[in-house]
Amino acid sequence: MSISDLLKFGGKRSDQSAGGADAATARGPETIVASKALPKFIAALSSTEAPVLVDFGPVIGSNVAFFGESLGCKLHIEDLAADLERHTRAGTREALPEALTKRFPQADASVDGILCWDIFDFLDKAAAQSLAREVVRVVRPGGAVMGFFCSSAVAHAPFTKFEIVNDTSLRHRPHAGGGGAKVVLQNRDIIRMFEGLTVAESFLLKSNTREILFRKRA
């Protein structure tokens, strides 16, 4: 059973770093990529006092510090790649859709923002639909959700840690686990899957990744 870590920080950061262009810079085994959606996500939550965030990635100290300093947020860590890896190793992937419906302890409409990263790329249709329903359930009116979606299928890809470099850049680092196939979700399927949310911003990067910012109507 996964552990949800609750981390609380005070004080918003007054200085925010400048971003770069839509480009990637190699850095050994890591890659730094400019994000179009991240600054929009931060701006969407900046007017909320002590917003509640859920992060579908692993604990990354610099991300915890960034959101604590910039938003003064309460951050729940829910490492779904680790969940997916456990089900894959146990041969219980077919149980994942039902498991996801019971995965999150957050109450209805209790979360201001969710960082999905690219987890939906690794899920089959049933699991993706279950997770999307949970996302819609826990986000409160006015909340924001950020997700990355591949535009070309990959037979096998590693899991990725997305480490925030500044307000507009992310460092991609390897995440533990075997990874898996990445599937393509069409725009119409994504919109249908996240029924209850609206697409506020959508960007197709040069890397062929679609970054989407969803909002829930207030």
In this prediction, residue 20 carries a pLDDT of 39
For the chain, domain boundaries: 20-215
For the whole model, what pTM was predicted?
0.87
In this prediction, residue 153 carries a pLDDT of 94
Instruction: Report, as ranges of residue numbers, the positions in the chain whose pLDDT lies below 70.
Output: 1-29
In this prediction, residue 19 carries a pLDDT of 38
Among 159, 76, 73, 72, smallest CA distance to 117 is for 159
> Checking DSSP bridges between strand 209-215 and strand 139-150, what pairing results, if any?
antiparallel
Among 174, 171, 118, smallest CA distance to 146 is for 118
Angle at 71 (CA atoms; ends 67, 74), nearest 5 degrees: 70
Fold of 20-215: Rossmann fold (3.40.50)
> Checking DSSP bridges between strand 154-157 and strand 180-182, what pairing results, if any?
antiparallel
In this prediction, residue 42 carries a pLDDT of 97
In this prediction, residue 207 carries a pLDDT of 87
